Amino acid sequence: MAMPSQEEQVQGMLQHAEQCSSTHQPLPTLEQLRGSLPPGASVVMVVTCCDPRVLPDQFLGGFGMKVSEVRNAGGRASEALRSLICVDHVLGVGAVIVIHHTDCGLTHLRNDFLHSSLTQKAPQNAAEIAKMDFLEILDLKASVIEDMKILKDSPYLRKDLKVYGYVYDIKTGKLQDVKE
């Protein structure tokens, strides 16, 4: 059976969304969501990769509206920081779980390769491209530790914020605890 085209995939997703809307129950407003948290409680943020194989709501358990996810290439904290700050100001963030994973695309890509590729596509932007850091990952544990440190050292987040780090193994489904 042939794979559906991208257009067919998008149309299928839109049809599914339309079907889901027929049974949709209204979601709480932010005020209602804040009110549903016990006094002093806050949400947990999961920072992880946007890789479609990595589905934290599945391997961490269905967590509903008490957990928020930030996903980006490599699950890097520096790119997630803006979202963390915003959610912290709206709902309050009590803990962050940083999860990187085996066979991540950023363990296969290098800055020099991406610089070269982008410079070929947009040579007029070569100077800007040369400054780009794609946050390549050379060592998974080290990258998790680096991201945990970014969050703990951020002047924009509370010093008492709990930060946890893990490497998710895509073959075994196990999380390996990473300590600083």
Cβ atoms within 10 Å, residue 162: 13
| Alpha carbon distance 56, 49 (integer Å) | 10
**b (16+ CB within 10 A) / e for 81-115:** bebbeebbeebebbebbbbbbeebebbebeeeeeb
Can you spell out the DSSP letters for 32-81? Answer: HHHHHSPTT--EEEEEEE--TT--HHHHS---GGGEEEEEEGGG-HHHHH
Is 86 a known ligand-binding residue? no
Is 115 a known ligand-binding residue? no
Is 50 a known ligand-binding residue? no
Q: In which region does residue 106 sit, left (phi positive, over 0), alpha (psi from -120 to 50) or beta (all else)?
A: alpha
Is 49 a known ligand-binding residue? yes
SS3 of 111, please?
Answer: helix
Provide the annotated binding site.
49, 51, 101, 104
Binding residues for Zn(2+): 49, 51, 101, 104
